[in-house]
Amino acid sequence: MPQSFQPLSLRYSEPSIYALHYLELTALAAHIRTREISSVDATRAQLARISALDGALHSYALVMAYAAMAQAEAADAEIAAGRYRGPLHGVPIAVKDLCQTAGFVTAGGMAIHKHHVPTEDATVVRRLKDAGAVLLGKLQLTEGAYSDHHPSIAPPRNPWHTDHWPGMSSSGSGVATAAGLCYGSLGSDTGGSIRFPSAANGLTGIKPSWGRVSRHGVFELAASLDHIGPMARSAIDAGVLLNAIAGSDEKDPTALLDPVPDYLATADHGVRGLRIGIDVAWNSDGVDPATQAMLKDAAETLRALGARLVDLRFPDVTQAVADWFPLCAVEAAVAHEATYPSRKDAYGPVLASVIESGHAVSGIEFQKIRLHRMALRGRVSALFTGIDLLLIPVHPFASPTVAAMQTLGETPTLVSALLRYTAPFDMTGHPTITLPGGFTDAGMPLAFQLVAAHMDEATLVRAGAAFQGVTAWHRRHPLD
């Protein structure tokens, strides 16, 4: 890090109980808009914090310090001239390193792409820049966004406790946002990789409806399962990021044409009258006591806010979870056909094994998966004729350790249990929000999910904001 990037004495209108680096995105945005804090000061402070802490946390794949400072200077000049672009203007954020960035390496967690410098920004990156955000850098991920890191890469470490799992492929996004190394980030979710690191690091994450956010310029893992979405410190912050990146895109014909609502317009409407479905059996079968207690508390909080809890029976997801593996493998094989097997030696063993298994799936097997998937999507969509939201865990065990997660390959039942509450909604494309809901006795974050009907992210932001208006789980931070 260049010597010029040193923390400054930052200007506040009044003392804050939170350090600058742990402000919510929207709180910092308010200070920047009124010029009480400059984007340059906030960005310089973030770069200094990254320099001081990320050598141990490994959340960044690439820090774009000079470009970030130039963007911050431009933001301050525009704001001073009265050209304010909105709540991301001048705010330092970061993106998962599978989002292409023109002129800067985008490796996707892969040794094979370590020198890949795109000439064009991904649509989500361009939209963040158009909103005036300052891009601090690229966040580390598992190889090709599957389940394990390439052997040459040091995995991100959970800032709450390094012995605990930081989440799956978007772990760099989770660690950096939780540790105060950016004010929000983008992740991707194919089997749970926005939701797992949001839960593990005490963050709020939105997995949008499939197609709500363009995938143009984002490395594929599995095209029909991949979702790009925000990870932040609050539902409101996540809504701000989603507002910026959502919408149709002529460069991505799979991006949905539906107009993008203002997700903050109804964020203060509360949950009174909303119907929240709960399958007590599904939420408790094989789920540990700490997670069950957290789910019960979350449900009671929402009930106290005026929501109506509705008992229901969720469709059996056993087949969907089993189908997720071969479906992801086939689509990963397609995504990597230009370099695998021709450059097989550059791949790590886990991703290579997945691609190999994808080549082995027959056409008959693949068609059966497609039919199962269509049926599940219809059954889940039908549930939302009687409810507005579904309340479920993120995974059935509280804050797993790194050591426990390293046994995944040897324990198929553990893998299936991990994906039971996440993969089905990648298969159906329904949107979800992950919300911090408590802590274990060891002081590690716990979280739950709310699921909504297709394209109803606005209700997720609304419910998340209501829950976070009367709880403070999302305002607890690691490290200091």
For residues 204 and 234, is the Cβ–Cβ distance under 8 A?
yes
What are the phi and psi torsion angles at 166 (to 5°)?
-90, 5
- Classify residue 275 as exposed, middle or buried by CB count within 10 Å of its CB (0-12, 13-18, 19+): middle
For residues 139 and 60, is the Cβ–Cβ distance under 8 A?
yes
Helices 412-419 and 318-335, axial angle in degrees (round to 10): 100
- Closest to 92 in 3D by CA, of 58, 139, 52: 139
Q: CA torsion sign, 242 to 222 to 253 to 116?
A: positive
Q: Is there a cis peptide before residue 341, judged by omega within 30 degrees of 0?
A: yes
- Closest to 19 in 3D by CA, of 57, 49, 53, 40: 49
CA 437, CA 291: separation in Å to the nearest integer?
A: 9
Mind telling me the catalytic residues?
A: 96, 169, 193
Q: 122-156 as b/e, with b when 16 or more CB fall inside 10 Å?
A: bbbbbbbbebbbbbbbbbbbbbbbbbbbbeebebb
Q: CA torsion sign, 439 to 478 to 162 to 237?
A: positive
For residues 408 and 420, is the Cβ–Cβ distance under 8 A?
no
180 token code pair: 């105060």
What are the phi and psi torsion angles at 440 (to 5°)?
-75, 170
Strand partners of residue 185? 94, 231
CA 381, CA 203: separation in Å to the nearest integer?
A: 27
First to last CA, the chain: 22
CA 131 to chain CA centroid, Å, is 19
